[in-house]
Amino acid sequence: MINKQVRLAARPDGLPKDSDWEFTETPVPEPGEDEVLVKITHVSLDPAMRGWMNPGMTYIEGVELGDVMRAGTVGIVEKSNSPALSVGDAVTGVQGAQQYAVAKPRELQKVDPSLAPLERYLGILGMPGMTAYFGLLHIGRPEPGQTVVVSGAAGAVGSAVGQMAKAKGCRAVGIAGGPEKCAYVVDALGFDACIDYKNENVRAGLKAHCPDRVDIYFDNVGGEILDAVLARLAMHARVVISGAISQYNKSKFSGPNNYIALLSARARMEGFVVFDYAKQYGAAAVEIVKWMNEGKLKTEEHVIEGIENFPSAMLRLFSGDKRGKLVLAVAEG
């Protein structure tokens, strides 16, 4: 049995290239004492992975050259030498861009495949869903009637943020790339409006769709869009720094020019890392599932087949050629 793996071959300069990756095939490993073998079904593709490719770009250490690329995963226990997990159990973890991995049970979380398809545990029931929940509710602190603007609105995190804002009685305005994504955000997800940043003037759109200005801006993209929203803040607004995907392929990040808008609006800008809330994920998942069952929270995964498509699939995060949570199905046979 062969384990196909994707390894980091070079540190990218700008957008990752095919030559930044190496594909290897190794024998499937045997689990040792108190370990399990997981057959990985899906690998998560996340913007944070771009940061892990160059040391010093993020809050955790980068991936070493030659190592299997770090990635969130979901899969099925195929062999178990631990009483904590049985063959057939479905588990999530950070097992990397490969088809099989050996792990200790404490490195894995058991999930229920009867409640949702496995790939959903990498999306709304996993890290992106938690990011939306804690970033919006704990940092943004929405109140009924307030206006919430979110960028990356058709993506894994952003699509959830706007719907959670609606569930909390807010006005939700998205920012996304292209008319199709904007139509999806409004018609399928129920946002009040969406600004197409690729074809519209964002400042004019904010003026039109946020008549009472912006109480919460959930920023997934940074750059010029962040500056545009800063110019439209309401008094005591909260700017939630979730990410800055427009900057991840640049050698030097550009910060907001318009930060002084925080002063006039007596506003607050605050970053967060979702893993700090790990102990509260269970309670968040209960509320997320409740919203899903009530039809208030819709979600979508964009599944690409085949581990060999890892390099091109990852680039879709930056081109925007995908909708909802991007995952790679890697199991064979």
Nearer Cβ to ligand NAP, position 31 or 128? 128
Minimum gap (Å) between residue 51 Cβ and ligand NAP: 8
Neighbour tally for 317: CB within 10 Å? 21
Neighbour tally for 109: CB within 10 Å? 16
Minimum gap (Å) between residue 300 Cβ and ligand NAP: 10
Q: In the complex, which residues of this chain contact ligand NAP (CB under 6 A)?
A: 46-48, 127-128, 131, 152, 154-158, 176-177, 181, 220-221, 242-243, 245-246, 272-274, 317-318, 320, 322, 326
Nearer Cβ to ligand NAP, position 210 or 244? 244
Closest CA to 182 of 203, 202, 153: 153
Minimum gap (Å) between residue 54 Cβ and ligand NAP: 14
Residue with tokens 């959903």, as numbered in its chain: 120
Minimum gap (Å) between residue 245 Cβ and ligand NAP: 4
Nearer Cβ to ligand NAP, position 85 or 122? 122
Nearer Cβ to ligand NAP, position 75 or 177? 177
Nearer Cβ to ligand NAP, position 41 or 246? 246
Nearer Cβ to ligand NAP, position 48 or 237? 48
Closest CA to 129 of 326, 330, 325, 331: 325
Minimum gap (Å) between residue 133 Cβ and ligand NAP: 11
Length reported for the chain: 333
Nearer Cβ to ligand NAP, position 41 or 242? 242
Minimum gap (Å) between residue 318 Cβ and ligand NAP: 5
Minimum gap (Å) between residue 317 Cβ and ligand NAP: 5
Token pair for 321: 């050629």
Nearer Cβ to ligand NAP, position 85 or 97? 97
Minimum gap (Å) between residue 274 Cβ and ligand NAP: 4
Categorise residue 138: left if φ over 0, alpha if ψ from -120 to 50, beta otherwise.
alpha
